[in-house]
Structure 1
Amino acid sequence: MERARIKGVGRKCLMLFAIILGLNSCREENVQIIEEELAYVEPVIDDVYEFGFNLNDYYVKRDTVRAGDSFGEIMQRHKIGYPRIFQIAEKARDSFDIRKLQIGRPYTLLCTKDSLQEPKCFIYQPNREEYIVINFQDSIHAYTSRKPIKYVEKEISGIISSNISETLAQQGISFILAYKMSDIYAWTIDFTRLQKGDRFKVIYTDKYIDDSIYAGIDNIKAAVFEHKNQPFYAFEFETDSIKRIKDYFSEEANNLRRAFLQAPVEYKRISSRYNLSRRIALYGNKIRPHKGTDFAADIGTPIRSTANGTVTKSSFTRGNGNYVKIKHNSTYETQYLHMKKQNVKVGQYVRQGDVIGWVGMTGNTSGPHVCYRFWKNGHQVDPFREKLPEAEPISDALKTKYLDYIAPIKVQIDKVEYEVEVDEPADDLITQVP
């Protein structure tokens, strides 16, 4: 009996010991769980704003308009029914014509953050700066806005070794800067005849969208180009604050431009000149006067207004194709024929150098070119035989203001240092290593 009682007590002690061990084990597991919970901190997600919305509040879908896409098809593809699509389109039409979606342009859908991912907002970007919002989360409304743009002023200098584009490319600068400079100095320096050793300094502005997306060179503030050891200064100055007309003038307030550009396009060659006695074999060698100048260029090459003026025609005829006509003043008018597409409307004011269309082959033409026609006092003339007027100088009332304006800018550009040319060492100075 006594032995049995001892065995029973021993068995109870073992069970109690096991329970105690189990409790300690559970306590350790609980402590470990609590420690892990205390150690875990939910990460803080920074707000990400674009188009005026916090993107963290939505499931974001991005895409581009595809061939055959319409606003309705895009919406239906994302499970929005036609009655709702019609309602959205009707409400938004006063602010945006949904039929104007262009192939290749990006759009963004802001959707609910659930399993349905139901679209609540459609954002379309017709270009890199503008965007159109159609918001249908609660009430339906549409509006156009622009992304924030930052302008950064920069300075650069260069010494010509072969051509200006190559000199800029060596510094990682866009050839667009060379184009803008050649436009400024179009009547002062022939950029096809630059000499080795010619040098330049430029103060220009780069444009950035959303602080980080590079959007190209915006404008040139000032430049000085030393050609054949003679410096040519150019300073941008606004001569008309109402029409926002700007031009480039020298340090002595002389206009660097002429009233008309020599050509409306960067052309390969002049394929046909103004000729009142022209005979064409295709028409039986009959005389068919050509009252324009044909500049051959690739399709899509920008066509620019050769002077400031107002668009009087932007239309199409069987012979002219797509064309634009501009009235510059009571004496001069110009016309630009065979465009692929116009870029201006009747009544629009354009400045010298503005893109008014693109080279095409519309109308009666056998190849891509722009036919440039020039009127003086209502009669078509050859602009290359005319003594064209100088560009308007700065008025006496503005001259003092201009000189005061450019004074600190001239000091700034004069302080820009030229790149140091590293000369090859002379042969007699080279140390030979045995």
Structure 2
Amino acid sequence: MPIKLIQNSANVFSNLPGIHRVLLVSISIITFGIAFLNPNQDSSIHLIDRFDLFSAEESIPSMALSPDSEFYDVLPFYPEEIEGESVQPTDQTKFEHIIQSGDTLSSVLNQYGVDISEIAKLTKSNKDLAKLQIGQTLSWELNEEGDLNTLTWAVSKRETRTYALEDGKFTEVKDIIQGEWSDHLITGELTASLSESAKLIGLSKKEVSAITRALSWQFNTNKLKKGDKIVAVFSRESLNGKIEQSQLLGVRVQSGGKDYYALKAENGKFYNEEGYAPSQGFLRTPTNKAFKVSSHFNPRRLNPVTKRIAPHNGVDYAMPIGTPLLAVGDGTVIAAKRDGAAGNYITIKHNSQYTTRYMHLKSIHVKPGEKVKRGQKIGLSGNTGRSTGPHLHYEIWINGKAVNPLKANLPRTESMSSSEKKEFEAYIEPVLKQLTF
């Protein structure tokens, strides 16, 4: 029986996975060690008891270890046993780390063993290191004593900042890669709106925005439609074969049989082909002559009619009924109708930022969708709607917020002297020649 038991145990042992055989051998060695270290005990009984644990084949599966078993944690691990892999010595003086969510310079360097005093010395005179962004790369090198020697921060693919320890403090050196700038002519006929046709023509979203801003004072690019034409000159920077940024030099749009130009002057501002910034100036008041202010801008005014606290989003000018009212700047009429409280009123959108409103009019001389010029008569003052007497209620809205018309920061008209105009014409000539269809 003992011989058969030993044979069965040997067969079972030989069929076990290698990791299991290691475990059983380890247990056996420990057991024999205990037996020899405790000669007074009847170790044979304990040995037989231990072998009895494995006498029946059906008991063996209970010892099988799954890949998640905690026993793997206590077994010795030898990297050389893994075929094709070997442990290479690492350079303990150079490190690299990609910034993850929640990382700070201190948390990154400190976890790699850099002393907090060294980190404080680095950040004391280099405050920008507190602005690390996810995805940026930090690399650093330690000296022979294990102290921080240099740190390199890859801010972007074009900018790198290196901090080197010199005379007890870290000095910063910026390295900015410059791409190649070249002029690009973009021309085409729209198949739909400008934004929808941009990719087909060869414009990026940022370039479409630049065109929109440059033309905003004289033309609303949202009105462009299929069949309209556009030609533009951009100076583009190429870095590693990719366009990194661009600057609009000039654009011409042909819509409804009319041409609209925006040309960049040496001062960085845009003018039309005649050197005039058509709509960059606002009239301070919507009348040819000054009138007394009967009620000021007040976010918490007591309404004289309703007797309730309500915002007065404009100023009231006391004036005779029938006084001509003027558009304070070029724009498009977006409302011209009668309303209960406002009476007859007009709303003009001048560009993406500025909107003006004129209320309590006697009559309206424009219609929705009509384009108006600065100084154009749009109606006559009156006393319609909720009003206590003849006056004009006038509002200015900037970026969707009502502001005091008497103090608002309004665009100013800039005119060129004859010498400035000659310089402008000479400056834009190379670009202007390219703006042809």
TM bin, normalised by shorter chain, reads 0.3 to 0.5
Give me the TM-score of the superposition, normalised by structure 1: 0.48
Give me the TM-score of the superposition, normalised by structure 2: 0.48
Determine which structure has more spread, i.e. the larger CA radius of gyration. 2
